[in-house]
């Protein structure tokens, strides 16, 4: 059972990373369109799934005993990416069509850095 969650988490990380990069590309549009808003929400869902798989894997495999980087830093960076993503999706929606993409772009740059860092930390360990 743990192998399934490990494999799913390992594969889905790239789906989430691609979704984040696609959303970042959409954030460079001048106006917030319904398509861009949909892409932003789907990106948040992709990262939600990745973090949920990670939490289940962490609990199922006693992740707290894996050492500092793999057991604590990697999950915390993933949770930080999720928090940043959701905060900026919410702020972009409330900023309206004119400024929503600029707000979201800031959050996406932070989220991309955090997602890449989380993947790098996991690969190092």
Q: How does pLDDT run across 6-35, given as a tens digit for each residue?
A: 999 999 988 988 998 898 888 888 778 888
Q: How many CB atoms lie within 10 A of CB 120?
A: 12
Q: In the prediction, which pLDDT does 56 show?
A: 93
Query: What CATH number did the domain enclosing 88 receive?
Result: 1.20.120
- Model confidence, pTM: 0.86
Q: In the prediction, which pLDDT does 100 show?
A: 77
- What residue spans of the chain are helical by DSSP H? 2-26, 34-60, 68, 74-124
Instruction: Specify the number of domains making up the chain.
Output: 1
Domain range for 119: 2-124
């Amino acid at each position: 059972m743990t192998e399934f969650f490990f494999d799913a988490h390992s594969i889905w990380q790239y789906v989430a990373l691609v979704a984040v990069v696609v959303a970042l590309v959409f954030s460079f549009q001048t106006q917030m369109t319904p398509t861009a808003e949909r892409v932003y929400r789907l990106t948040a869902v992709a990262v939600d799934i990745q973090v949920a798989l990670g939490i289940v894997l962490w609990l199922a495999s006693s992740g707290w005993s894996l050492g500092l980087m793999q057991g604590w830093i990697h999950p915390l960076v993933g949770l930080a990416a999720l928090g940043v993503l959701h905060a900026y999706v919410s702020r972009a929606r409330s900023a309206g069509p004119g400024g929503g993409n600029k707000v979201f772009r800031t959050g996406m740059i932070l989220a991309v850095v955090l997602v890449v860092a989380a993947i790098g930390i996991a690969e190092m360990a």
